[in-house]
Amino acid sequence: MIVSISVLIIFPAGCLRDSLRVLLRAGNHVTQVTQAGDLRDGSRLLAELTPTLVLLDVDVTDKTLESAIQQLKSCRPRSLCIVLTRTSDQERQAYTADGILQAGASAEAFFATIESSLQSFNPIIP
C-alpha cells in the first residue's frame, strides 16, 4: 500500500528550508509540505494539521532539544520527528527523535533517513 506523506518543516526561512521543500516535493508520495519559522508557529500548525513527518531544525527553539521534541510528540504522537543537528552534543539531546540528520548531509542521506523513519510509520486506516 502506498501512503501519502505530509510534512511540516520547522526551520528558519531561507535557502536551507527552501531546498528541503524542493527535495521533499521531488520525493515519492509527498503530497503536502507546510513550513513554519519557529517552534511556536510549528506547534500551532501541528495542532491544526496531522503531518506524517516533522522536520525540526535545532536553531528554532529556545528550549532544550529534548523538551522541544517532547512538545511536538505530545501534540501529535503519531507524527514522526526528524531533527537536523550540527554537533554531537545536539545528536545526544535528540535521542527521542525518530531520526537524526546532520547538517551538510547529502540528499541521499536525507532520503535514507526519511525512508528509515517511515518504515516504522503505521497509519491508522479508517
Q: What is the mean pLDDT of residues 98-115?
A: 85
H or E stretch covering 70: helix 65-75
Q: Flag whether 126 is in a domain.
A: no
- Asked, for residue 98, whether it belongs to a domain, the answer is yes
23 found inside a domain: yes
Which ranges of the chain does DSSP label H, i.e. alpha helix?
15-26, 39-48, 65-75, 88-93, 107-118
| Prediction pTM value | 0.85
Q: How far apart are CA 50 and CA 31, in angstroms?
A: 13
Q: Residue 123 domain-assigned? A: no
Work out how many domains the chain is built from and give that number: 1
By residue range, what is the domain housing residue 21? 5-118
Residue 110 lies in a domain: yes
CATH (domain of 60)? 3.40.50.2300
In a domain, 57, yes or no: yes
Q: What is the average pLDDT across 61-89?
A: 88
Confirm if 26 and 55 have CB atoms less than 8 A apart.
Answer: no
Model confidence pLDDT, tens digit, residues 13-59: 888 888 888 888 876 678 889 999 999 999 999 989 989 899 999 87
Question: Does residue 104 fall inside a structural domain?
Answer: yes
118/122 Cα distance (integer angstroms): 8
